[in-house]
Amino acid sequence: MDDMDAFTGRLDPDMCVVTAAAAGERAGCLVGFASQCSLRPVRFVVWLSEVNHTFRVARSAQFLAVHLLAREQVGLAEIFGGRTGDDGVDKFRDVRWRQGHGGAVVLQDAEAWFVGRVVGHAGGGDHIGFVLAPVEWGAREGSGGPLLRLSDARGIEPGHPVD
């Protein structure tokens, strides 16, 4: 373990699924790098890997949807984290979804979600940050339990290599 792993190895962030739709194509991926980044106005940033199929769809999208999953929704996380759209897999075939604001893809079984208008991008090494201004949001009825965290998702074999 190098020095930085001593720090990053202790982190256990909430995981989320980010979905994008553009030019008749849908994509989504499991994301561990995401955070609110402004109070006034409210802004949120999600970081997508440049080698990920979702990144390629998202860079043409005007709106992205960000979904929080419950700890017990590992199966849903596996669909978006353990498969890649690069090989033509339709990740949305076996999940309930609807079209949200601006054509965004909203997963209906997520604990909570929001659709954000893409208002900027930030470079960050091998990931690009998509800065989002929330325009629509909601939560599943009866939601409020523990959220899926990195430690819950460690067993998911990534659908796409990091590089």
pLDDT band at 152 (very low <50, low <70, confident <90, very high): confident
Return d(Cα 50, Cα 35) in angstroms, integer.
18
Per DSSP, the residues of 92-127 read TTTS-EEE-GGG-EEETT-SEEEEEEEEEEEEETTE
Question: 163 versus 112: which is more confidently predicted?
Answer: 112
Amino acid at 4: M
* Residue range 130-148, pLDDT digits in tens: 999 999 999 988 778 899 8
The predicted pLDDT at position 160 comes to: 63
Asked if 95 and 109 touch (Cβ cutoff 8 Å), the reply is: yes
The predicted pLDDT at position 77 comes to: 93
* Residue range 59-83, pLDDT digits in tens: 999 999 999 999 999 999 999 987 7
pLDDT of 1 above 60: no
* Mean per-residue pLDDT, 153-158: 80
Question: 56 versus 88: which is more confidently predicted?
Answer: 56
Share of the chain above pLDDT 90, in %: 69
What's the mean per-residue pLDDT of the chain? 91
Q: What is the pTM of this model?
A: 0.92
